[in-house]
Amino acid sequence: MRYAASERLRHPARVVAFGFATAIAIGTALLSLPLATETGHRTGLVDALFTATSAVCVTGLVTVDTGGHWSTFGEVVILALIQAGGLGIMTLATLITVLVAGRLGLRSRLLAQAETKLLGLSGIRRVVRNIVLFSLLSEAVVAAVLTVRFAVGYDQSWGRAAYQGVFHAISAFNNAGFSLHSDNLMRYVGDPWVCLTVAAAVIVGGLGFPVVFELARSWRRPAMWSVVTRITLGLTIALLVLGTVVFTAVEFANPRTLGALEVSDRVLAGFFHSVMTRTAGFNSIDIAALHPESLFATDLLMFIGGGSAGTAGGIKVTTFGLLAFVLWSEVRGEPAVNVGRRRVPETNHRQALAIVLLGIGAVAASTFLLLALTRHSLDSVLFEAISAFATVGLSTGITFDLPPAAELLLVGLMFLGRIGPLTVASALALRRRTRRFELPEERTIVG
């Protein structure tokens, strides 16, 4: 029995996949009940499965209107699935980090523990407790702000305002993108209280637990930051600014998106959309009305995603940033990749490359199949595939028109996108082996 348990722990991919699959199965069963719909009729199995997968994988893609189709019971089930998926991915990512550290050599473990303050095996309970408390406290603050705004600014009853505030707070912090409104958050496009509060929750949830807590401990001492924090924070700020500038400039005169708004509201909407491309899935403008340049920029930002060990998806900014440093070092002819005062080992280079190639392959294959299964354009299909893989939830509106086979394909893509990068990275780290001999070296032509 001990041996079997040890073998399961050596393969965290199995634990992660089984946990998420179990949550999806339970969610599908609950959403299939007549009690879960406003009409009292059963939801089709594919739609129930799609919604449960989208909620657990904190994606936000939907095949039915969340606020109109599901009853209060159904909405609470979706909310519980979002919370379980968000907490689950942060906790599992952190615990797998601990497991990986346990398989490292003594010197590497000591260096890692000194750098992150999280990798001691005796501190697992404290880490999990802090993750849960941090998540619930963040959601409570966001819910309070939204509740007051909905009640005071939109004349909603305090009960209704509180319900909507809690729902959107949990959805935002977990980067899920589910909304109770048929137009998502488009009715709040010029409301900074709603948009900036939701955006702040998305950013904090997407940074990742290790980064947030390291910043809380040593925000005045940037020289002490780990490589993960340096890359995550630097790229997050850079991509948010770049996205805001690009979207605002490209859509500034588009009457179907930003053109009809006041100048200040255009900047707010551009910033909000830039934040949401980091796998949050809310939208305050019509995604289908975006110019092709904006759609392409959104594709890129969605694929990159957010921080590691957070609620965001994508290949992660740490992966993208690390490959950028690898490229820069290669261009300069440097033998090692250095970030700040740290040298990044070659194993991390291979892990980052594997995750990127996995993502490109999954998106490419899914786009090809979706083109074969539907009659939608390449722009729309590619956007949908990236949104599903990166667990974003933004859509040009084709999700409602997809056939069952295409919906099932997106279910698999959301599942792969949620657990794929994490499990691949951990599996590669845990499979590290020592070779007792080396084969003769032969250089090949590259490029």
pLDDT in tens, 259-311: 999 999 999 999 999 999 988 889 999 999 999 999 999 999 999 999 877 78
Q: Is the dihedral of CA 303, 130, 103, 5 positive or negative?
A: negative
Q: Which of 199, 178, 186 is nearest to 67 (CA)?
A: 178
Strand partners, 337: 344
Q: What is the pLDDT of residues 28-60, one digit of tens each?
A: 999 999 999 999 999 999 999 999 999 999 999
Report, as an integer, the average pLDDT of 57-78.
95
Q: Which of 416, 376, 398, 447 is nearest to 61 (CA)?
A: 398
Residues contacting residue 371 through CB under 8 Å, at least 6 positions apart: 378, 381
- State pTM to two decimals: 0.88
Share of the chain above pLDDT 70, in %: 83
pLDDT at 336 over 80: yes
**pLDDT (0 to 100) of residue 3:** 44
Residues contacting residue 238 through CB under 8 Å, at least 6 positions apart: none
Q: Which of 273, 258, 312 is nearest to 394 (CA)?
A: 273
Q: What does the domain layout of the chain look like in residue ranges?
A: 2-430
**pLDDT (0 to 100) of residue 114:** 39
